[in-house]
Every structure is written in C-alpha cells, then in structure tokens.
Amino acid sequence: MTSATGTNLFRQKTNTIEKRSTPIRIVDQTFYWLTLTFAVGLGVVLTWIVLNVAMQAMPAIQANGFSFLMTTTWDPVRNIYGVLPQIYGTLVSSIIALLIAVPMGLGVAVFLSEDFLPPQVQNAIAFATELLAAVPSVVYGLWGIFVLIPFLRPFFNFLHDNLGWIPLFSTTPRGNSLLTLGIVLAIMIIPTIIAISRGTLKSLPPELRSGSMALGATRWETILKVLIPAGFSGIVGSVMLALGRALGETMAAAMIVGNTNRISISILDPGATIASLIASQFGEAGRVQVAALLYAGLVLMILTLLVNILAEYIIKRFQNVE
C-alpha cells in the first residue's frame, strides 16, 4: 500500500513489524512529495528551456533549415547563417582536449589510488588537482592569451618547421588556434577525470585487488586487467562529463580559439566553436541573428545529447566485463 513511500527509512531493528506513528508517517509523506516535486521540476525546467530555445530559434530554423548545418558563412549583415565551421571546431578542439586529458587524467587517477605515496601526500595532490576545477574559465582564457600562447610559441614553431609536411601542422602558427584551445580545455577537464576516476578506483572492493594479487598477478596486470575494467563505467562517466564541459566551454574558447569562420585541416589555424560564437555575438546581435544563435545553441544541445547517448551505449556495451 505504502510501498513507494520509503517504508524502510524508519524501520526498527526488531524483526516484528510495528505500526508506525503518525508523525513519522507525515515526515515520510512530506519527504516523498518533496523529492518527487524536485525530480519532476528538474525535468520540467529542462523541457521548458529546450522548448523556449527552440521557439525563439524558430525563425532561423524556418529560414535556414538543415542547410544551417552545412553552410560555412556567418554573415549578420545579409542574414546568411551556417555553423559547419563551428561544429567542426567544437569537435576538433574537444577531441584534442580528450587526447591529452584522458591518458594524463587516468594516469594520475591510477597513481593516486595505488599505494605509491603516503595517503597524506595523495590527498594533498588530489586536493590540488580539484582546485584546478575551481578556477573561473575567464581566468583560463586570460592565462591562455598572455601566458600559454607565448610559452607555446617555440613548440608550435617547432611543430610547423619539422612536421609541416603533415597537413595538421601545415600553416604558420599564430598563437590563437584550435590546438591552443584543445590544450587549455585539457587542463580544464583533467580535474573532472581525475576526481571521478580516482573515486571509482578507490571504491572498488578490496577483494578484487587482493584476489588478483593472490593469483600471482603483477601490479601491472592488476591495474590493467582487473581494476580499470572493473571501474570502467565510472571512468567512461568521468570522460563523458569532461567531454560535456569541453564541448560547452564558452569564455575560454571565445578568448583563445581565434573566432575565424573557416574550416582548416591545420590545427595551428584559428577556428571557432559553437559556444564561442554564441558568447561573442549575442550581446550585439540583431533579432534575426539572435534566432540564428539560439539555433546554434540547439545544435550544441543535440550534439551534447548524442555524446551522452554514446556514453550510455559504451557503458552498457562494456559493463558486463565486471
């Protein structure tokens, strides 16, 4: 009868089932209703935002249709809009960020969850990495412009001079580029990957490790063949959360990426991302342009949704390793 109302919350330790007192029942009911309201409310707010954005974007959706996704022009004067360069830039910069952040973050997470260091030092390092996540993105943007770009210049020049025959490095480096943004995004998302992956690895049952060791497995084998597969869903989850942040990063992207409406195979060329486009143009946009920007926002939401579905799929597909 009251099956869903949290019967177990206040159950006595005795095995006999007693009739619960009225105040406790009221607390139960209130708690149930309150949490239900929050849960449903969250869904409603999300739907509301999506519908609102879609409605405001409607003029642009009607005017541009699917060619919006294929056009490379963004011309507010003639009201011709397309976000293909931005979609490309968003994906490329996020992929660069993941290529750097996943091995690094996962490595740090494994290191900090093993017993290489005394726990105090481990916790201090973990704390420091989490502080990285608290730095505002505008600070990352300024730091990128004034510190990282001059610092990376010799490295970029080296890439171009020695590996210029690879199309990826074929243009003269100018500082602001998709690669620079990828590196800054990597620094921004590493804390997420470390924190969640480390948490997952630390919370694995100790029997897994002892069992593996008892069977004669080396530490390498234990980490690669037992611990990481067992914590796989948590690790993929951390990567997806990090990717979500990289895809949607606004301020740092707008400041670093160079905001050039162009698709170039070279990652040393400036580009643009969807979020940077919205951030830089919203303030001064005319009405048709606002609709186009919201359409771009909708595209970004769908992109993020696809990424999350992919994550769910990966977790489902590989979870039976456990």
Contact status: 280 vs other proteins (CB under 8 A): yes
Contact status: 285 vs other proteins (CB under 8 A): yes
- Using CB under 8 A, pick the residue from 37, 67, 123, 157 that binds other proteins: 37
| Least Å from the CB of residue 260 to other proteins | 6
Phi and psi at residue 11, to the nearest 5°: -70, 140
Name the burial class of residue 26, with classes exposed (0-12), middle (13-18) and buried (19+) by CB atoms within 10 angstroms of its CB.
Answer: exposed
Contact status: 75 vs other proteins (CB under 8 A): yes
Nearer CB in complex with other proteins: 49/310: 49
Nearer CB in complex with other proteins: 113/259: 259
Lookup: tokens for 160:
């171009």
Lookup: tokens for 212:
């593996």
| Least Å from the CB of residue 169 to other proteins | 17
How many other β-carbons are positioned within 10 Å of the β-carbon of residue 121? 11
Name residue 75's beta-bridge partners.
Answer: 80
Contact status: 172 vs other proteins (CB under 8 A): yes
User: What's the DSSP call for residue 19?
Assistant: P
93: closest CA among 22, 172, 182? 182
Could you give the count of Cα atoms lying within 13 Å of 54 in the half-sphere of its Cβ? 8
- Using CB under 8 A, pick the residue from 9, 24, 26, 40 that binds other proteins: 40
Contact status: 116 vs other proteins (CB under 8 A): no
Nearer CB in complex with other proteins: 29/218: 29
Contact status: 287 vs other proteins (CB under 8 A): yes
| Least Å from the CB of residue 125 to other proteins | 33
Nearer CB in complex with other proteins: 37/218: 37
How many residues contact other proteins, by CB under 8 A? 45
Name the one range near other proteins by CB under 8 A: 139-147, 181-189, 216-224, 239-247: 139-147
Nearer CB in complex with other proteins: 149/189: 149
| Least Å from the CB of residue 66 to other proteins | 21
Q: How far apart are CA 132 and CA 128, in angstroms?
A: 7
| Least Å from the CB of residue 76 to other proteins | 5
Contact status: 160 vs other proteins (CB under 8 A): no
Q: How far apart are CA 97 and CA 185, in angstroms?
A: 6
Three-state SS for 166? coil
- Using CB under 8 A, pick the residue from 14, 17, 23, 78 that binds other proteins: 78
Nearer CB in complex with other proteins: 105/144: 144
293: closest CA among 18, 68, 23? 68
Report which residue type is found at 230.
Answer: A
254: closest CA among 131, 79, 88, 90? 90
Contact status: 258 vs other proteins (CB under 8 A): yes
Is residue 218 left, alpha or beta, with left meaning phi > 0 and alpha meaning psi from -120 to 50? beta
How many other β-carbons are positioned within 10 Å of the β-carbon of residue 306? 10
Lookup: tokens for 116:
């290489």
Residues making contact with other proteins (CB under 8 A): 4, 32-33, 36-37, 40-41, 44-45, 48, 73-78, 80, 141, 145-146, 149-150, 172, 174-176, 254-255, 258-261, 270, 272, 276, 279-287, 290
